[in-house]
Amino acid sequence: MNRILFYLIFGAYFLLFTSCKQEAKEQISKKPNIVFIMSDDHAYQAISAYDDRLINTPNIDRIAKEGMLFTNASVTNSICAPSRAVILTGKHSHINGKIDNISPFDTTNVTFPQLLQKAGYQTAMFGKLHFGNNPKGFDEFKILPGQGDYYNPRFITATGDTTVTGYVTDITTDLTLDWLQNRRDTKKPFMLMYLHKAPHRSWMPAPRHYKEFTKKTYPLPATLFDDYATRETTAGPAEMNILKHMTLRYDLKITDAVLEELNIEEHLGIGGLNKFNPEQRAEWDKIYGPINEAFKKEYGNMNDSTLMVWKYQRYMQDYLGTIAAVDENVGRVLDYLENEGLTENTLVVYTSDQGFYLGEHGWFDKRFMYNESFKTPLLIKWPNVITPGTTEDEMVQNLDFAQTFLEVAGVIAPEDMQGKSLVPLLKGEKEKWDRDAVYYHYYEYPAEHAVKRHYGIATKEFKLIHFYYDVDVWELYDREKDPQELNNVYNDPDYAQVVSELKEKLNELRKKYKDSDTLSNQYIQLYKDKGLIED
């Protein structure tokens, strides 16, 4: 009898254990999948869900139509690698240590993919990471070294490097779809990072877009000829003016032969053309050869104004041409999810590592806390959670992604993460959102583009910025009355109360996020130690 009783009890415990284990597996498999799509330097102005004057992006727009469009999304530090470090760690640059594109990423940082992987998610990354060759927390990765190449790119993998013939945007998508179709564990939820190189400088479109986009003409930005009258000590010295600093060879694809004939000297080679095979080069020359010939004939009659306009048009043709391929390929991934029945249980995010200047203030590039580089596109769809076609104007940042994804996955975020989960906003529970201001800090100076170090606070109504190190300049912009940020009203008596209140709030944010002048001076000393600043 005792033996029978023992077997009965043992059998009951075994069945209970098996049942619990099976239930746990089912719970894991029911967790939402996460597809994080990020491009590099994709301006919100170049997504038709935000503004359709430059380009139509029907596939990226699908995410907004089926989900939520954020109109006040921003970054904490508008430069590629630091933005990516913020996204992975959920911590500001001064905490995770990746303050610029120069310093190495501290691999002791805990990233959200590591936490998701530990919680039972299958994880993968394809495309541009920009720093490090062995990202933590991924079951599989194929990433571009550094900036990567538009044509015939090399990829770093866990088992060695590989070079793939073709166009990088298409290849990154091919790798992503191959993983989804052939190596995804259907018993597990997955977190996929699908990261495009485009539209990063030097803006090389796919061959199928050469002819269409090089024939287009675009409306000029209202501030293309900005004279920086109220920002001369900050905006004026920046080296990213289209007329003065955008190169004919590297950026706009004018050949050495033409430049030599016109007696124009430039130090940067044509970016990426050395990666072409003969067939690709012939296809390129067929379209870009006549552009060179036309420029050679027109150059002698150009003044600064007409050359600026010519450069702007060439810039837009190639920049937007690269985005056309991104949009097509985003459509391929969305179609796959739909065709495989994965859409209903998958959260899809589309964003950029920061914004970008498309001629506003006469600029290209990013870095400043001014709108075009500070704001970033953010579109999220999550069926049965987000009401389709919703627009959200709350102040959110790339700092918030890590905690958002962890909450979606049912994982408790580490206490030292500094963002806020967007889940309440995604669910339409705005009453649970209490942020009314965001913090920004840019460090990479002296360096390329000569944008001075600065930090600041932004609310929906105002933006207060402090430029420091070799200057001590404050700027205040009324975002409602002056959306183009042309008039610094910091010294306007009518805004004295606003300045006082924002400075107090800025100090509170700096304490909250553990930033300080002491820490800023430590990072300045780091530049001195590396010989980047003269002591």
d(CA 123, CA 262): 52
Q: Which residues pair with 160 in a beta bridge?
A: 157
Give 422's Cβ-side CA count (13 Å radius).
29
Q: How far is CA 318 from CA 200, 205, 288, 408, 497, in A?
A: 11, 6, 11, 37, 45
Tens of pLDDT, residue by residue over 460-477, are: 999 999 999 999 999 999
The pLDDT of residue 11: 59
Percent of the chain with pLDDT over 70: 95
Evaluate if residue 228 carries a pLDDT over 50.
yes
The pLDDT of residue 8: 60
The pLDDT of residue 12: 57
The pLDDT of residue 231: 87
The pLDDT of residue 25: 44
Given the DSSP bridges, would you call strands 154-157 and 390-392 parallel, antiparallel or unpaired?
A: unpaired
Average pLDDT value for residue range 157-172: 96
Tell me the average pLDDT of the chain: 94
For 510-514, the CB contacts below 8 A with 24+ separation are: 510/439, 510/455, 513/92, 513/94, 513/95, 513/418, 513/439, 514/94, 514/95
d(CA 38, CA 46): 14
Structure tokens given for 328 = 């097509």
Given the DSSP bridges, would you call strands 462-467 and 154-157 parallel, antiparallel or unpaired?
A: unpaired
Evaluate if residue 291 carries a pLDDT over 70.
yes
Q: Is 137 helix (H, G, I), strand (E, B) or coil?
A: coil
The pLDDT of residue 268: 78
Is the CB of residue 313 less than 8 Å from the CB of residue 218? Answer: yes
d(CA 338, CA 322): 25
pLDDT band at 26 (very low <50, low <70, confident <90, very high): very low
304-339 and 278-298 are packed helices; what angle lies between their axes, rounded to 10 degrees? Answer: 150
Which residue type is seen at 6?
Answer: F
The pLDDT of residue 23: 43
The pLDDT of residue 24: 40
Please report the domains of the chain, with CATH numbers, ordered by start residue.
40-200+314-322+335-429 (3.40.720.10)
Q: How far is CA 530 from CA 103, 449, 523, 525, 535, in A?
A: 10, 19, 11, 9, 11
Average pLDDT value for residue range 401-416: 98
Tens of pLDDT, residue by residue over 353-396, are: 999 999 999 999 999 999 999 999 999 999 999 999 999 999 99
d(CA 66, CA 389): 6
Q: How far is CA 352 from CA 83, 89, 359, 394, 397, in A?
A: 9, 17, 18, 18, 11
Structure tokens given for 250 = 């590297």
The pLDDT of residue 20: 43
The pLDDT of residue 178: 98
The pLDDT of residue 238: 97
E strands, 298-410, are: 346-352, 378-381, 390-392, 396-397
Any idea which residue has 């010989």 for tokens?
A: 531
Q: Which of 61, 60, 39 is nearest to 356 (CA)?
A: 39
d(CA 448, CA 101): 10
Tens of pLDDT, residue by residue over 95-127, are: 999 999 988 899 999 999 999 999 999 999 999
* φ and ψ of 288, to 5 deg: -85, -15
Given the DSSP bridges, would you call strands 378-381 and 462-467 parallel, antiparallel or unpaired?
A: unpaired
